[in-house]
Copies of this chain bind each other. A is one copy, B any other.
Amino acid sequence: MSMQDTASSGVALWRLVADGIERGIADGRFAAGDKLPGEMEIAETYRVNRHTVRRALAALAERGIVRAERGSGTYVEAQKLAYPLRSRTRFSEIVGADGREPHGRLIEASDDVATRELARELGLKTGVPLVRIEAIRLADRTPICVSTTWLSAELFPGAGEVFAATRSMTKLLEHYGVRDYRRGATRITAGIVDATDAARLDLPLGRPILVVDATDHDLGGKPLVTKHSRFAAERVEFLVENG
């Protein structure tokens, strides 16, 4: 598998090795805390120079997926954030339960108008004014997801400023007198990160993302906000309860 005898595919060899190792971690061949095979052994299995393996491991280490210990071995860090999808999930609680510090940051708040899709989700009419909030959420200092959130501009005037101050959707809703809310139907898909989200999530290009579309309702079932979230697939795992 050298670059001389094979027609180049435009994908670097070290990237193929890194992807292979990462897949091994993702599908459980290597568990968190496990010691990976030695660099020489990896080089042999992929039929590649040891330096190429080191390049791959360095890329994984920089992303916090593995950790090298000199003289001992390379170990799997990769503790994905377990993200249960229940009707009442709060990002801060999930991250806190993982022993990490949740953070939120406003990227941009702007005025928008409801497309037919958004209006349907929010129980409003097409074309009514909305507030669009682009935000990022982190666990400790690791970006977990970027979300685009839409709210009615009439029901939540000045929502952008409130979110910038509170940095929490829960607190934003409290500010407007909403004391509790539930997550409605959730749609999960997957895709490849685009350049904008890659920069925000601190992800290399070409990485997979989990895309979650959901609408939160108050206890009476009235739609409050609808969200389009993109999660770094390598940093979370969604847990769906059966039944």
Q: List residues of A whose CB falls within 8 A of some B CB.
A: 7-12, 14-16, 18, 59, 204-206
Cα A91 to Cα B204 with chains together (Å): 41
Cα A7 to Cα B8 with chains together (Å): 21
Q: Copies of this chain, how many?
A: 2
A89 to chain B, nearest CB (A): 30
- The chain B residue with its CB closest to the CB of A19 is B10
A15 to chain B, nearest CB (A): 3
Cα A10 to Cα B3 with chains together (Å): 14
Residues of B within 8 A of A59 (CB): 10
Residues of B within 8 A of A15 (CB): 9-11
Q: List 21 A-B contacts (CB under 8 A).
A: A7-B204, A8-B12, A9-B15, A9-B204, A9-B205, A9-B206, A10-B11, A10-B12, A10-B14, A10-B15, A10-B18, A10-B59, A10-B204, A10-B206, A11-B11, A11-B12, A11-B15, A11-B205, A11-B206, A12-B12, A16-B205
Cα A10 to Cα B9 with chains together (Å): 11
Cα A16 to Cα B205 with chains together (Å): 10
Residues of B within 8 A of A205 (CB): 9, 11, 16
Residues of B within 8 A of A7 (CB): 204
A189 to chain B, nearest CB (A): 13
A109 to chain B, nearest CB (A): 28
Cα A7 to Cα B59 with chains together (Å): 10
Cα A14 to Cα B12 with chains together (Å): 12
